[in-house]
Structure 1
Amino acid sequence: MRHRQIHRTTLRAIFIAIILIQDFVPFFGNIPLGPLSITTMHVTVIIVAIVMGPVDGAIIGGTWGLLTWVRAFVAPSSPLAPLVFVNPLVSVLPRIMIGLVAGAVYRGISYWPKLNKVAMVAAGIAGSLTNTVLVLGMVAVFYRTPAVAHAYGVNVDHLLPTLEVIMATNGVAELVLAAFAVPLIAYPVLEVRRRLALY
């Protein structure tokens, strides 16, 4: 029992370190494109949710969210960050929900062992959608302002259509990335973890 707890704590620390590296190494976890910032960090959160479960996925997602929130004040990743990510409902909550949703989807589908890889793809899609919909949805609800619209290069009347375009472009790109990368990485990691659990 103690061995498993140490193993889980070690894995959690490793994934937190990966999130930190992704967040601080330029163009590794966030790729700035104008007012946007395309992320690859959701893939890590989804992998944790699959390998370790929804709660650990939420912890790693929350770590990413807290980093996003802090960086919005001290080192914004895009011109939009200091305008919207200073709100934890935009920066932290969606990241936590990635882990919870992706983990729940994976557990629900992987109940049937033959659907394990399908479950990973579904978890990747669900986690990515959760992040995109919640972040852009919160921006639409709380930040329909001239300053945010200006950061996107549009006026306030065009902000909602712009968010819809982002969801259809940026969001789809992140979804496709998750759908392909998550099973490629999560499957061998899960197999190694299962073997280590036997010792």
Structure 2
Amino acid sequence: MTEKKRNSNTVSQIILAVVVALLAGGTAPWWWGEVFPAKDNDDTEEVVNLTEQEETNNIWRKGRLEIPISSSNSGRVADLDEGNLIPLGTSISPRDADIFAYHSVHDIIIQPGVSKGDGITFDAQFLKMADRSIDYQECKEAGSLDKISQHIPTSNIKKGSCICMRTTEGRLARFSLIKENYSGNNRSIEIDYIVWKKE
């Protein structure tokens, strides 16, 4: 038997033994990792999933709300901390209001709740607007940056945009405008929102 055939038989026997061992439920031999090195694990997906999980565990409340558009100091405003609407012009205090939508001369405006009487200061506060989703960390960092307008025309809000805010109870939240109804007597906007737990 020639040297070439002997080497070929030896390699064939090794391969056959490894295949049989693997099929039978055995483990790979010690040299398997040397011959077939494992690919480097890309931890990016794992980190993203972990971040999403942490964000999910940090959620205080989430959902959708349809907020009526007011033309005066009547109507209803959104309380994101409780996930409900508060009526205006009643004995119930609107102090917990986080989003107020009203009709101005040329547009529908949203603001962070009802002002403290001067039209410019609020118990809630808009922090950032972006034409994409905003996560908890970005919303948190926006709290220390320059503030955005507290009166946002809905015509300036693109589809898919997010607004980050601090609620009247001091929680970070984000919301997106997902539906508008500007015709008839029951005009409204619909938002999708997430409120995170206090740290």
The interval holding the TM-score normalised by the smaller chain is under 0.3
Q: Which has the higher helix share?
A: 1
Q: TM-score, normalised by structure 2?
A: 0.26
Structure of larger gyration radius:
2
Q: TM-score, normalised by structure 1?
A: 0.26
